[in-house]
């Protein structure tokens, strides 16, 4: 469970992370995105087509308790996170495309996440209070707007804010490891292996499917790596925040299990994938045109 102090700390971290995301944006970024609808479409399909369906398959074929299944579905419906931008950079991917996909999935998520949750929750006969989730998502757009305002007001302040948001996204993983894991150790030891398969598989399979999807579209290898990481790396902090602020009682621990475990394991998975991607990088791949795709 997450106590009152941790809830407040979590809310603050989420605020700063979203603030940093906003500080990385300018109105020109949205104009460029609209000029490249192909890139926007790939981002939306990856985040809200591939990942929710993957979550649906995991829930369908794994023997998961209902509370764990809810956590899987919420995690699968999340937008991309700033962590994906970091791994895209280290994997020598297309950072501009990565940021575009992250922003697109976050902004469109206010509309798409509740709709997709409704569709899949109905199909899986799961109960999810969509109203609370919609309110949380709308509130999260406020720090994004503030971050954009800071960037417009002063570029240096915007750069510092952007760095803080990205760094805090990684610090969040340490927060989970230090705070949530020890107090829920007994639960983690007694939960079914299927919970771990879902938590790890969501990111691992998401990256693999995203890469296959991009290569099927004959994207440049750098762009394919970017789409792969953006597809598999979801916004774990946002999923945990939504669960913490939506559900109450002991059952919230089960809802939070997969997002918490996902947030821990996705760093390991993404690091290994990044090492593979860096080895695959060749001099020929550096000849990428200025366009995002």
| C-alpha closest to that of 292 among 25, 40, 84 | 40
The total of structural domains in the chain comes to: 1
70 lies in some domain? yes
219 lies in some domain? yes
292 lies in some domain? no
pTM for this prediction: 0.84
DSSP at 283: G
283 lies in some domain? no
DSSP at 234: B
208 lies in some domain? yes
Q: How does pLDDT run across 27-56, given as a tens digit for each residue?
A: 766 676 666 677 678 878 989 999 999 999
Distance CA 144, CA 106 (A): 10
Pinpoint the alpha helices (H) of the chain. 4-23, 27-35, 37-45, 51-61, 66-76, 82-90, 95-124, 130-153, 155-175, 181-183, 185-190, 193-216, 221-232, 236-246, 251-280
**What pLDDT, on a 0 to 100 scale, did the predictor assign at position 133?**
77
At residue 80, the 3 state secondary structure works out as strand
Q: Which residues contact 192 (CB under 8 A, 6 or more apart)?
A: 63, 64, 65, 68
207 lies in some domain? yes
- The conformational region for residue 125 under phi > 0 = left, psi -120 to 50 = alpha, else beta, is left
108: domain CATH number? Answer: 1.20.1530.20
| Residue span of the structural domain in which 53 resides | 4-276
**Residues of the chain predicted below pLDDT 50:** 284, 290
123-142 core/surface letters (b: 16 or more CB in 10 A; e: else): ebebebeeeebeebbeebee
**What pLDDT, on a 0 to 100 scale, did the predictor assign at position 34?**
66
DSSP at 285: G
**What pLDDT, on a 0 to 100 scale, did the predictor assign at position 200?**
95
284 lies in some domain? no
């Amino acid at each position: 469970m997450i106590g009152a102090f941790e809830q407040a700390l979590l809310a603050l971290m989420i605020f700063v992370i979203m603030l940093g995301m906003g500080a990385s944006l300018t109105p020109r970024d949205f104009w460029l995105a609209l000029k490249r609808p192909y890139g926007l479409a790939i981002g939306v399909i990856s985040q809200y087509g591939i990942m929710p369906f993957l979550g649906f398959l995991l829930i369908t074929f794994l023997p998961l308790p209902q509370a764990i299944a809810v956590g899987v579905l919420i995690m699968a419906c999340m937008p991309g996170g700033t962590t994906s931008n970091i791994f895209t950079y280290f994997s020598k991917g297309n950072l501009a495309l990565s940021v575009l996909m992250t922003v697109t999935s976050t902004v469109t998520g206010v509309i798409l996440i509740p709709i997709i949750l409704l569709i899949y929750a109905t199909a899986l006969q799961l109960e999810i209070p969509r109203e609370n989730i919609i309110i949380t998502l709308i509130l999260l757009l406020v720090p994004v707007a503030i971050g954009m305002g800071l960037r417009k007001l002063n570029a240096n302040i915007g750069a510092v804010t952007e760095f803080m948001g990205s760094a805090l996204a990684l610090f969040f993983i340490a927060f989970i490891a230090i705070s949530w894991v020890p107090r829920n150790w007994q639960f983690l030891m007694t939960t079914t292996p299927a919970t771990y398969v879902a938590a790890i598989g969501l990111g691992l399979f998401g990256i693999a499917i995203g890469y296959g999807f991009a290569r099927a579209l004959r994207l440049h290898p750098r762009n394919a790596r970017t789409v792969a990481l953006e597809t598999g790396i979801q916004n774990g902090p946002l999923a945990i925040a939504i669960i913490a602020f939506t559900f109450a009682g002991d059952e919230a621990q089960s809802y939070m299990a997969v997002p918490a475990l996902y947030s821990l394991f996705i760093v390991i998975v993404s690091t290994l994938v990044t090492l593979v991607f860096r080895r695959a990088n060749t001099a020929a791949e550096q000849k990428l045109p200025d366009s995002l795709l």
